[in-house]
A = this chain, B = another copy of it.
């Protein structure tokens, strides 16, 4: 893709995240993009992100849903304001609530696709629905309520 990922617009301080920080060398470095009205991210889980032999760890799936959805929330908030993601003031979202339903065991060793759909955009809150697919099959669905990052997290 020629688009720049949502997460690549974050400043260095907000690029440490284990899930999506481009500066976290131990992390997942999730990259999310618009694909029409939906957002999409693709990732091949590491061998050690295992649950039982042959299947992906559920906590990893929750992490993918989480970071892809907060990134989508930020991108949607900029879009709602008619602004590009590299303009000020920055809009950063954190997760208030995360729900994941595991519909089928997720095979390890194949690229996963995480798709997000923006359900609601308010000034301080964005709701995103997500699904995680392997080989085109939906293995998990997620719902994330993302809220504007609180001052207590920004002040560090």
Q: Which residues of A contact B (CB under 8 A)?
A: 13-14, 16-19, 21, 24-27, 46, 48-55, 57-60, 62-63, 66-67, 94-102, 105, 149-150, 152-154, 156
Are the C-beta atoms of A95 and B58 separated by less than 8 Å?
Answer: yes
Give the number of copies in the complex: 2
Most B CB within 10 A of own CB, among A21, A51, A152: A51
Contacts of A53 in B (CB 8 A): 13, 16, 156
Are the C-beta atoms of A18 and B60 separated by less than 8 Å?
Answer: yes
Instruction: Provide the bound-state CA to CA distance between A14 and B60, in Å.
Output: 17
Are the C-beta atoms of A98 and B99 separated by less than 8 Å?
Answer: yes
Are the C-beta atoms of A98 and B62 separated by less than 8 Å?
Answer: yes
Contacts of A66 in B (CB 8 A): 58-59, 62
Contacts of A26 in B (CB 8 A): 46, 48
Given contacts A18-B60, A59-B63, 16 further A-B contacts (CB under 8 A): A13-B53, A16-B52, A16-B53, A17-B50, A18-B49, A52-B154, A55-B153, A58-B66, A60-B63, A63-B63, A95-B102, A96-B101, A97-B100, A97-B101, A98-B98, A105-B153
